[in-house]
A and B are shown apart, each in its own frame.
Chain A
Amino acid sequence: MKDKIFSVLQRVGRSFMLPIAILPVAGLLMGIGSSFTNTTTIETYGLTGILGEGTILYALLIIMSKVGSTIFDNLPLIFAVGVAIGMAKREKEVSALSAVIAYFVMNTAINAMLVISGQILENGEIAQTVLEGTIASSCGILTLQMGVFGGVIVGLGVAALHNRFYKIQLPSALSFFGGTRFVPIISTIVYMFVGILMYFIWPFAQSGIYALGGLVSGSGYVGTLIFGLIKRALIPFGLHHVFYMPFWQTGVGGTMEVAGQIVQGGQNIFFAQLADSANVAHFSADATRFFSGEFIFMIFGLPGAALAMYRCAKPEKKKAAGGLLLSAALASMATGITEPIEFSFLFVAPMLFVVQVILAGTAYMIAHMLNIAVGLTFSGGLIDLFLFGILQGNEKTSWMLIVPVGIIYFFLYYFIFKFLILKSDLKTPGREDDNTETKLYTKADVNARKEGLKKAASEDEVSGEADSISEAITRGLGGKQNIEDVDCCATRLRCTVGDISLVNDEVLRATGASGVVRKGKGVQVIYGPNVTVIKSDLEDYLASATDTIVIKSIVISSPMKGKAANLSTAPDEAFAQGMMGDGAVVTPEDSYVYAPEDGEVSFVFDTKHAIGFLTDSGVSLLIHVGIDTVNLNGNGFKALVESGQKVKKGQPMLKLDLDYLKKHAPSIVSPIVCTELEENQKVRLIKEGNISAGEALFVVDIYE
């Protein structure tokens, strides 16, 4: 049961990643836009001439600010769709459409209830009696203020309906409405009632949320400390998104009136204040306490830990470990993505992770105590510090305090890590025993892999390096049939498998993973920020791999020089449809047909237009020169081998009179097919276009 809950929470957490990914961009637009349209800023830096009201740049910046702001304003809808996509197992686009519909339906139902009960007046205004901030406009509908929760309720519910009904079969008279088409229908009906229900329930939830938020706010610095400790401790389980999101985005994280609007959630409050920064003396640290501390340990602390690990690495491994640790430290500093560093010690030295949780958790509290109010969109890196701290000015954010505290943190991390690593002989990167390789992913690996990908793509090779990695991952996860679901978050591949005992950590680690976390049927394989590439490759691979695992591949080379193409292009239906077997066609440009591989000539047809061939590797081939050439009665062909003869690859078997054939046969396109394929054998074309005799034409993959 616990495992099941974990598995669901894991899915919920990763489904937040798609909507969250837009926030840095929205924040960037809004941050730049609102900073440089702020009259005070413009005047302070003497930029009125180029940035003042009426200039083109001013207009552009206003647009940027508004565009960024609209994303924050419509987050509930964005979360509804994003979560529905993330949680849907298949046919995700249908659940996205259904989520949009359900979101409008639910809010319209709530609106209707509010009108009926008189809380919204007929002229569209909110009645005086209604508690301030409980009714707000969402996508133009006046509805109960549910914030991102409203979106998440829609996303989760629609995805559940979707997964339950997307394959439903209706009676034949109604069959048009079956399958995926049923999902928007059922979503509409269900969410009409959810809306009515919300009208009754939500006011209680609202007071509950405000109470919880009040409790956290009321517990002051201790509340901040507890928040910080829990958030950092949840990282290894990948559940931190579920935990912190309510504090950032809903009333749990506090409520505040900004520019006459009631705003909920720490992050929302910050951005509302940012939009209204002309009227704000100092941003609220009570709102930003759920993230301002991150700058301290992400920009300063964790790089200190990385330096400690580097200094403790064995001399001969310093270079390798250094590359890894430097790139991980840079990721943390610049973008605030900490997983690469944290995972470099989490699995090999859990003790260090405890230190990290305590130090980082405390950082949130210290920032709160020092009244540091620097906002962020996604995580606490330099980019966000620049936009939402430095640019906003020290008077409003107290960002300068981050620097001295950060320097103290840098040394704290450095010395504590170094002390513990040396004292307990922890096997951090570069300190492994000699027989184990540094298994962590370095930037060089990532780049090499990317290059490999590009190369494979440009050369049109079907079996690139990406495929071999995906193949290894598939093997490590217990084979294609064992994989039920694949997804990823910022740094890890998250999979659900049928049988956890088939998962092989060693195989997965060899694919470049720095760690494997298993819980119930969920498996998380930690790769680093490039995991999205790995995930896409794996999905492509799983979609194209027709069956479990290829245990053997037999290469069949072209028996002639010419132009190779897919068998389906054969100008003969029987061949094109694969009735004689699967394979390829070659249009000959040279007058000899050679033995494609070592093997035996099974037969030479009397009219010499076709040769049966059995390769030593056990593949039966029919080499059929031209179409309808049986009618030529042997004219234009000269056989150089006879039935039953053993031949070596490249030995000539037929001599062709190409001019004669071109004149008298409907086509000289020559099918080369495997006539006796078993069910677990599949043909994979590997060359199209110009091919020489003896060059690999296709491969017969034999599956498990």
Chain B
Amino acid sequence: MNEKGKMLMKTFNHEIKDEVGIHARPAGLLVKEAKKYNSKITLNVNGKSAEATKLMAIMTLGVKQGQVVEITIEGEDEDTAYEGMKVFFEQNL
């Protein structure tokens, strides 16, 4: 919450570079990373969304190379979560 009491939400987009998309191993890493933060982290793609802490949900999205995923982060530690997730996506996906 900011001082006006309005809910903040951080968002960034990421284009998947991994040639097989988000498969089991990166999904596992993603879940592990996302669990470090208290914020709710959501992946949105093709009108579907999945919580980043749910391995099965992420894999169900079936994200492929070249698709753009919108990642939304909201919660008390969203600033650090934002930085962390951004680095994670750059390095792994």
Contact = CB atoms under 8 A, between A and B. Distances in A.
Interface of A: 572, 574, 579-581, 602-603, 605-607, 610, 612, 614, 620, 622, 624, 630-631, 633, 643, 675-676
Nearest to A604: B62
A581 B62 contact: no
Nearest to B54: A676
Given A581-B55, A612-B56, 12 more contacts: A574-B24, A574-B25, A579-B31, A603-B59, A606-B64, A610-B23, A610-B24, A612-B59, A624-B24, A630-B20, A633-B20, A675-B56
Q: Which of A602, A614, A624, A675 has the most CB of B within 10 A?
A: A675
B23 A622 contact: no
Given A605-B62, A610-B24, A675 B55 contact: yes
B59 A607 contact: no
B22 to A, nearest CB: 10
A496 B76 CA distance: 45
Contacts of A676: 54-56
B32 A579 contact: yes
B71 to A, nearest CB: 20
A559 to B, nearest CB: 16
A622 B24 contact: yes
Contact of B56 (A579, A607, A622): A622
A572 B23 CA distance: 14
A348 B71 CA distance: 71
Nearest to B60: A603
Interface string B24-67: 11011101100000000000000000000011100110101000
B21 interface: yes
6 contacts: A602-B56, A603-B59, A605-B59, A607-B23, A676-B55, A676-B56
Nearest to B25: A574
A630 B62 contact: no
B24 A631 contact: no
Grouping DSSP codes into helix (H, G, I), strand (E, B) and loop, the B interface class, with mixed when no group exceeds half, is: helix
Interface residues of B, number: 17
A581 B54 CA distance: 11
Nearest to B32: A579
B29 A607 contact: no
A603 B62 CA distance: 8
Nearest to A607: B20
A612 B56 CA distance: 7
A643 B60 CA distance: 8
Most A CB within 10 A of own CB, among B27, B29, B55: B55
Given A631-B20, A675-B55, A676-B54, A579 B28 contact: yes
A622 B20 contact: no
Given A606-B62, A606-B64, A620 B24 contact: no
Given A606-B62, A606-B64, A676-B56, A580 B23 contact: no
Contacts of A610: 23-24, 59
Which 9 A/B pairs are nearest by Cβ-Cβ distance? Answer: A675-B55, A603-B60, A580-B28, A579-B28, A630-B23, A630-B20, A620-B56, A675-B56, A612-B56
Contacts of B59: 602-603, 605, 610, 612, 622
Nearest to B27: A580
Contacts of B25: 572, 574, 580, 630
A579 B29 contact: yes
A631 B62 CA distance: 15
Contacts of A643: 60
Contacts of B23: 605, 607, 610, 630
Contact of B24 (A602, A614, A630, A633): A630
Nearest to A620: B56
A593 to B, nearest CB: 15
A624 B28 CA distance: 13
Contacts of B56: 602-603, 612, 614, 620, 622, 675-676
